[in-house]
Structure 1
Amino acid sequence: MDLHLRGKRVLITGASKGIGAAAAEAFAEEGCHLGLAARNVEQMNALAERLRSNHQIGVKVHGVDLRKPDDLARLAADAADIDILINNAGDIPGGSIDKVEEAAWRHAWDLKVFGFINLTRLVYAGMKARGGGVIINDIGAAGEKFDANYICGSAGNAALMAFTRSLGSKSLADNIRVVGINPGPVGTERHVTLMKTRAKHQLGDENRYRELQQGLPLGRPAHAREIGDLMAYLASDRSGYTSGVIFTVDGGISAGWSN
């Protein structure tokens, strides 16, 4: 299926690894020109070089800390001509309410919650002035299947779900679509690290972490590329009547799936 994305300009935050890097691959294969934004410039440069070589596209690397207002403003200015924004950066810690201190909570939300909101505010205005665009928020299934041991993430993700639905409910009046994706477990480097820590605690051996995944649908987490491919589809005109909704990709977990 031709997604009609060739030549579109896409900005992806949190693009150095995981879902962000997978999204970059998906959009590159569709012939999009990319802006990659994160703090790890070295990783992004390696990814950019490979994508340029493999797909003959333009790729620009933005070394930014999205917690910093000046960096956000600079990123929005440098990417003022984008057609598609993928809000993906985030690193919210686990823990119950007595384990996550205020400073850690605010630090996490400055990136995942306010980072999404503030960059969207800046980019939305430019898209509106140019006649339209697409904003996709990579949120997380903990925002709908609440977890007291991931309370900071559940609360932050729920806020971003409300933000996405609220903005997307009226954004087509500006020819802008705003859509969210709620991945469940995804086999990223961060997921493997978390599973190894849990395996060491529960099983006494971090290398047994795959045993903890056996109860997941299909016995595995989602592949990052499965999320990236959905982003590409939702960003395309093949999904042109889609706005103000959240797509959950968790193998049925939040719908009550059980092994």
Structure 2
Amino acid sequence: MRVEAAFAKTKAEGRAALVGYLPAGFPTLADSIKAVDIMIDHGADVIELGLPYSDPVMDGPSVQRAADQALAAGFRTSQVFEVTEAVAGRVPILVMTYWNLVERYGVDRFARDFKAAGGAGLITPDLIPDEAGEWIAASDAHELDRVFLVAPSSTEERIAATVAACRGFVYAQSVMGVTGARAGTSAVAPDLVRRTRAHTDLPIGVGLGVRSGEQAAEIAGYGDAVIVGSAIVNCYLDSDDVPAGHQRLAELTADLAEGVRR
């Protein structure tokens, strides 16, 4: 299922999409599959699977801890295709990954295997379109979406070049710095969305920091998607056991889904 279909559905319903992020293999391989099913059952429209990496310089402490746990349990890059295949078909499944992991696996090979597993596309936070020729070719060959990031520091020229290379949606990184749940949403996010919208008709997803339905409703007032990651990871990090984490995730996702529908 492609991302375009999910956004067509949410637009027809007059609301923003809810995008949920979780590292594949966390808290365990099987439980990451269960967690994705929980998110979809409780209202997530798109899923981002993080690809655990040993040097996650753009991730905050929660995502770093989750990635470390997955890697310590023996997670391998190829297992992201196992998770994708297990959950694909209900909503679009994207992988969010540092680019050198894809290069190490083989760009065309990764695109081929991910497509075969039912994946929709990649979010590549540390890859800029100027250096993405191999990925653009592979994503075209295997009909995958490609999501690049814009940030508050992006110039108009950079925003225009970035959105021109995107397919599916544009990821608006609404705060500068690493990922992590925050008490309030970014004051610069509405302006970043406005600036980005001037250059594209693609949906714009807003990420970094959302932890409640109230914040989701606020962002849904100007963004086409609300992206939630660290708060989802914290459902497990802050729970005594995995079943309790599953329960917290169900409650959080339902709250977020209600928020984007206000």
Asked which structure has the greater CA Rg, the reply is 1
TM above 0.5, yes or no, is no
Bigger relative contact order, structure 1 or 2 (CA pairs below 8 A, ≥6 apart): 2
Structure 1 length as normaliser, TM-score? 0.35
Structure 2 length as normaliser, TM-score? 0.34
